[in-house]
Structure 1
């Protein structure tokens, strides 16, 4: 959604349309529910779940000459709020490769969540308020649902709360959360934007423990930049192993990579794939 801009017509899922309206206002939307193909010019277009945030979709374009799958931002595996990505076969794959480095084989998500919940509990035990810093759209709602699913109540900063209300209107139940009013409640977690963004300061908290939620935190050399007590490697992007799994499942003849390290293309060529960097 941080890439959204005004266009003459926006083709997107209904959930994405609701979120984009919040960001940029009214424009012409052509809504494409997941799995319901439309004819557009000379192509048959189908949205399939991307597992990134609510409403995120890959686009499968099919013509008589062949097919292409454009991933956009995506992640494999289960999600509390974003659904699970689907990977249809396509002749050409255009994929993001944010974590296209073998270092970024992130730990199992269940393991990461269990460790995070334990750290939250430890903060409660010393009388601290856990403040979780996460992207306003997507990660903040995923973290909220993780917490409420495990019986932990949440207070949200205004920008996060506004997006969460759209999630709820789209049928995504986030559990027991409320707007933060400047007064922290006992055994509640406050969810706030990343510390580098406007609105991340949480006033009224006497003793806090700060958490950053990002896959980049898996790299200890990068973790210090987040200025938090804990950096949790919870990502909404495919890690290195999931990128390779994507290629195996889609089985494309050609691969075009973007938004990641260019050396990932060399890696794929070394594995026998016809891969190119899309500059």
Structure 2
């Protein structure tokens, strides 16, 4: 029997009797990261990287049963050894290494290979079988170095200031927003944020992360505070009455989907920045090869195309259908800045 199996509840280890990122409630869940499509409400017990613990409590409830584990430390479930390893996706994200006897499988979760300075550096983990995401598994998706993208964002903000416009950037509330704040903290601007971003930001500040101060936007926020500021909001805020208070403003979107210009036009944005917290095509190939895996399973995204390419190039690969979310999905956000459904918070791209 395989170390891991694909079931209707998620990726399952029968010998250890646990699931990895299950999409239905189970007894024991090993969680790769705190995004809502991977960390769902209703499991009896959660295991995750210790930096994800406060994020899981924020999103799933303070009373959940959760255990944190440092990178590289092992834990044993019924003779199966589990360890977590850096994924570089968001704060606390991890790959899950599962070893039974002489066989090792690794579940990537979501990952990126460029170090954003905040989420850690992705580390390939040697294994016989690698289960990898393939969100951007097409050759068209190749990211510029993030230093170039952040320089473009700073220039865009300056141009908006000269034109007398406020700058509003749409970015997912957990991961992308913190990456923006961390890498723009020395730009000499004030940061204002939607409540969906300000709330996890406060949690991470309390954990000691080197993030700049953020002013939460409320109905009482003075117009004067918007001047020479960067306003960060989740994508679900676009086109809502909440945005009217920023007129006149320029709208920018930070997402890997902005690599294809048509996406920016369809979203009625003034600017698009191809900044993603997922590996691009070359990053995916680099990571798969670095594991030395003899077999690869591809999940969510362009999984079929990526599996076909790997197989044609000498690495046996199979697409696996999962219930992990699409990158343009978000929960509904109300005007006060709170999630209308706290069990389905924002996801990423």
Aligning the two structures, in what range does the TM-score lie when normalised by the shorter sequence? Answer: over 0.9
| Alignment coverage as a number of residue pairs | 279
Instruction: Measure, in 2, the Cα distance between the counterparts of 1:79 and 1:236.
Output: 9
Partner Cα separation in structure 2 for residue 93 and residue 109 of structure 1: 27
Q: Is the alpha carbon distance of 1:12 and 1:199 closer, same or farther for their aligned partners in structure 2, counting shifts above 3 Å? A: farther
For the pair 1:12 / 2:48, whether they are aligned, the reply is yes
Go from structure 1 to structure 2 and tell me whether the alpha carbon gap of 1:199 and 1:92 turns closer, same or farther (over 3 Å shift).
Answer: farther
Which residue number corresponds to residue 207 of structure 2? 170
- How far off its partner does 1:152 sit? 2.5
Cα offset for 1:41? Answer: 2.0
Picking from 222, 227, 235, the partner of 2:276 is: 235
Instruction: Report if the CA contact (8 A) 2:226-2:246 is conserved.
Output: no
**Contact kept? 1:192, 1:199, Cα under 8 Å:** no
Instruction: Say yes or no: does 1:266 pair with 2:300.
Output: no
Paired position in structure 1 for 2:342: none
Contact persistence 2:237–2:243 (CA under 8 A)? no
* Residue 70 of structure 2 corresponds to residue 33 of structure 1: yes
Q: CA deviation at 1:66?
A: 1.2
Who is 1:134 aligned against?
A: 171
C-alpha distance in structure 2 between counterparts of 1:189 and 1:69, whole Å: 39
Distance 2:53 2:64 in 1: 10
- Distance across 2 between alignment mates of 1:7 and 1:199: 34
Call closer, same or farther: CA 1:195–1:211 in 2, change over 3 Å: farther
8 A Cα contact 1:195 1:201, kept in partner? no
Shift of the 251–31 alpha-carbon distance from structure 1 to 2, 3 Å rule, reads same
SS of the residue aligned with 1:159? helix
**2:103 corresponds to 1:60:** no
The 5 A counterparts of 1:50-199 are 50-181=87-218, 182-183=221-222, 184-195=225-236
Shift in alpha-carbon separation, 1:189–1:255, aligned structure 2, 3 A:
same
For the residues of structure 1 that align with 2:317 and 2:118, how far apart are their CA atoms? 32
Relative to structure 1, is the Cα distance of residues 64 and 199 closer, same or farther in structure 2, using a 3 angstrom cutoff? farther
Cα distance in structure 1, aligned partners of 2:53 and 2:280? 27
* In structure 2, distance between residues paired with 1:249 and 1:89: 7
Match for residue 245 of structure 1 among 273, 281, 286: 286
Distance 1:92 1:69 in 2: 6
**Distance 1:197-1:69 versus aligned 2 partners, 3 A rule:** farther
Unmatched tracts of structure 2, length 5 or more: 1-34, 322-349
Find the aligned partners of 2:119 and 2:93 in 1 and give their Cα distance. 7
Aligned residue in 1 for 2:27:
none
Match for residue 257 of structure 2 among 184, 194, 216 = 216
Alpha-carbon distance in 2 for matches of 1:206, 1:197: 13
Bigger shift: residues 181-190 or 63-72:
181-190
- Asked if structure 1 preserves the Cα contact closer than 8 Å seen for 2:111 and 2:122, the reply is yes
Offset of 1:108 from its aligned partner? Answer: 2.3
* Residue 324 (structure 2) pairs with residue 275 (structure 1): no
Question: What TM-score do you get using the length of structure 1 for normalisation?
Answer: 0.94
- TM-score, normalization: structure 2? 0.76
Q: Deviations over 1:61-80 (max 9, x none)?
A: 12222111110011011113
Distance of aligned partners of 1:102 and 1:196 in 2 relative to their CA distance in 1, 3 Å threshold: farther
